[in-house]
Amino acid sequence: MAESRQNPLILVVHGPNLNMLGTREPEHYGSQTLEAINASLITKAAELDLQVSTFQSNHEGEIVESIQKAVGQVRGLIINPAAFTHTSVAIRDAVLVLDVPTIEVHLSNIYKREPFRQQSFIADIATAQISGLGASGYLYALEALAQLVT
Ligand code: DQA
């Protein structure tokens, strides 16, 4: 395995209320905590000769800033914008600025839910979207980025 400092860095961004995973609506979002999801991403990244940096915020502007700070620093983005998926032009614009392969992840299948969840401001600018595979979706996204960036 290559030295980890040379491994391509992937930013993983989690939007609002995802800090409550584990207890939040488990019928939609499963029982894994965000900490457990992040730990599994770090383990998987090492297997794939990638590095991950994880970030969660309940604030739109903080998410925009985390993406802006990653410009020139990361080779790929995994983002679950959570409720901001359906509202945020600002996060969409930040993803366009970052301009790296991007996988949009949703734990639940947003297309099987309320009509307002079926619109994504990210989907048409993302490389791909994974929706409805639970926490495994993040790991599949990382595998996809390993193919795309290495
Ligand atoms: C979500 C779906 C969104 O509609 C919702 O607001 C979330 C989580 C998902 O992962 O399924 O917070 O992005």
What's the CATH number for 9-149?
Answer: 3.40.50.9100
User: Catalytic site residue 140?
Assistant: no
Q: How far does residue 149's CA lie from ligand 1's centre (Å)?
A: 26
Whether ligand 1 lies within 6 angstroms of the CB of 67 is answered as no
> pLDDT digit string (tens) for 9-28?
999 999 999 999 999 999 99
Separation CA 12–CA 137 (nearest Å):
12
First to last CA, the chain: 13
List Cβ neighbours of 19 (8 Å cut-off, separation of 6 or more): 34, 56, 58
Say what the pTM is. 0.96
- 5 falls in which pLDDT band (50, 70, 90)? low
Please name which of 31, 87, 42, 32 lies closest in space to residue 63, comparing C-alpha atoms: 87
Whether ligand 1 lies within 6 angstroms of the CB of 56 is answered as no
Enter the tokens of residue 97: 């600025």
Whether ligand 1 lies within 6 angstroms of the CB of 117 is answered as yes
pLDDT at 2: 47
